[in-house]
A and B are shown apart, each in its own frame.
Chain A
Amino acid sequence: MKRDLVSIHDISKDEMLEIIRRAAYFEKHPISEILKGRVIASLFFEPSTRTRLSFESAINHLGGRVIGFSDTKATSQTKGETLNDTIRVVSNYCDMIVMRHPIEGASRFASEVSSVPVVNAGDGANQHPSQTLLDLYSIYKTQGRLDGINIMMVGDLKYGRTVHSLLQALSHFKAHFTFVSPKELNLPDEYKEFLKVNGQSFYETEDIMECMNEADILYMTRVQRERFPDPMEYEKVKDTYILKKEMLDRTKPNMKILHPLPRVNEIALDVDNSDHAYYFEQTRNGMFTRMGIISYLSEINGIVEPFNFD
């Protein structure tokens, strides 16, 4: 049975832990041959250099080969070929498809028509499950656990899909959430409802300093000008959610700062030298996490022999 990774809702808590375990294994043993002789298609219907390089590096580290495209300018998409046809054709040539697409739900549809597993590397504003899993791996690595984490999420909580996916994933592990955002970008009610139904505790504030010193993880996101209907409102809040080094004086020693990157100005450069900064290591964790994801789906799909990852 082929398995896809389209949405963070597709995988159980046990599977999340399995992928984290594999990520840790590959971090210790980054050169592997388990995908030797296999071909993975990397289909980027919109450019995303960072994500593409991370996936393609992961495939290469596993000994697999990559085919594909990094934008649609040179493909038959521009000639009006449907997604259905592209996926049905490409799935004849490869053992797995990694795809990024600007339209929401494109990956789910692709997984239904593809004969090989599909990994969603982002479908518009919808899902980007490998980002969520690498966030979990980063939390696990820095805190030594996933249970009972005190996490503070800052910035655009309304449109930030990384925030929405991460809070849903962490709800398996009884986290305590603090949400810090301007009121225009508050967490939507449906996610608060989700947390309540799942018995998670959370607190909302507009003040970034209020709960800073209790946090284990500080998850920063971009506040983008175009999200504000009124530019005056943006001007009012834009400097309120900038993290500066002196704000970190009394934080817990284990506290780490994560950011899905790229950043604009929300983390001042002087924070980079702080022991709390973790966002560059986080991207490195992304490659190992993607090795974990690809190896896990390959094994379920019978591409590789079961391999002992302990």
Chain B
Amino acid sequence: MSTEKEFLKVRAIKNGTVIDHIPASAVFNVIKLLELDKVENEIIFGTNLGSKLMDKKALIKIVDKYFGEDELSYLALVAPMASVSTIKDFEVVEKHKIQPPKEVNGYVCCANPMCITNKEDICTHFTVTLKESGELALKCRYCEKETRINSLKLIK
């Protein structure tokens, strides 16, 4: 089955945002980080779709909703390869480039089980650093330990 046919299964939207090339395993994290579970807008999504670029991808279309660069920056934590397009009148009018955020407040758990944020009801704060390996890491303001992006867990 070709990608094109899969793509058509997820119907076109007139106005809004299309987030494509989300790893299928990351789709629920994307929903949480963009707080799509809290919006009233019509949302269409497909997951476990075939893709030329990745193994199994997910695709999310949000009708009549547009995101700021700050909100989209959080995608770099869970879906760095994602592409985000703004749709107006069925046309792509803008493609966003995702830049990682400088700070992450909330959403993410500190990976250190001995960290105070995992013991008491305290909002997490991280600064985002780029490792020598090119990987992103989150440095906790409290315990000063790094949470690696590939072991990232979101707060429930």
* Contacts from A to B (Cβ < 8 Å): 7, 9, 82-84, 103-106, 108-109, 123-127, 190, 193
In the assembled complex, which residues on chain A have CB atoms less than 8 Å from the CB atom of B120?
A: 82-84, 109
Q: How far is the CA of A82 from the CA of B116 in the complex (A)?
A: 11
Q: Which of A104, A125, A193 meets B142, CB within 8 Å? A: A104
Shortest distance between the CB of A32 and any CB in chain B (Å): 33
CB pair A125 B114 closer than 8 Å? yes
Shortest distance between the CB of B86 and any CB in chain A (Å): 38
Tell whether B156 is near chain A: CB-to-CB under 8 Å.
Answer: no
Q: Which of B117, B121, B122, B144 meets A7, CB within 8 Å? A: B144
In the complex, how many residues of chain B place their beta carbon closer than 8 angstroms to a beta carbon of chain A? Answer: 17
Shortest distance between the CB of A199 and any CB in chain B (Å): 15
CB pair A104 B132 closer than 8 Å? no
CB pair A106 B116 closer than 8 Å? yes
CB pair B114 A124 closer than 8 Å? yes
Can you list 13 pairs linking A and B with CB atoms under 8 Å apart? A82-B120, A82-B121, A83-B120, A84-B120, A103-B114, A103-B116, A104-B114, A104-B142, A106-B142, A108-B116, A109-B122, A126-B144, A193-B132
Interface of A, secondary structure class, is: mixed
In the complex, which residue of chain B has the Cβ closest to the Cβ of A124? Answer: B114
Enumerate the 3 nearest inter-chain pairs by beta-carbon distance, A residue then B residue, closest first: A105-B142, A104-B143, A105-B143
In the assembled complex, which residues on chain A have CB atoms less than 8 Å from the CB atom of B143?
A: 104-105, 123-124, 126
> Contacts A124-B114, A125-B114; is A105 near B144 (CB within 8 Å)?
yes
In the assembled complex, which residues on chain B have CB atoms less than 8 Å from the CB atom of A84?
A: 120, 122
Tell whether B146 is near chain A: CB-to-CB under 8 Å.
Answer: yes
Q: How far is the CA of A193 from the CA of B135 in the complex (A)?
A: 14
CB pair B116 A83 closer than 8 Å? yes
Shortest distance between the CB of A121 and any CB in chain B (Å): 16
Q: How far is the CA of A126 from the CA of B117 in the complex (A)?
A: 14
| Per-position binary interface string of chain B over residues 103-143, scored 1 when its CB falls under 8 Å from any chain A CB and 0 otherwise | 00000000010111101111000000000100000001111
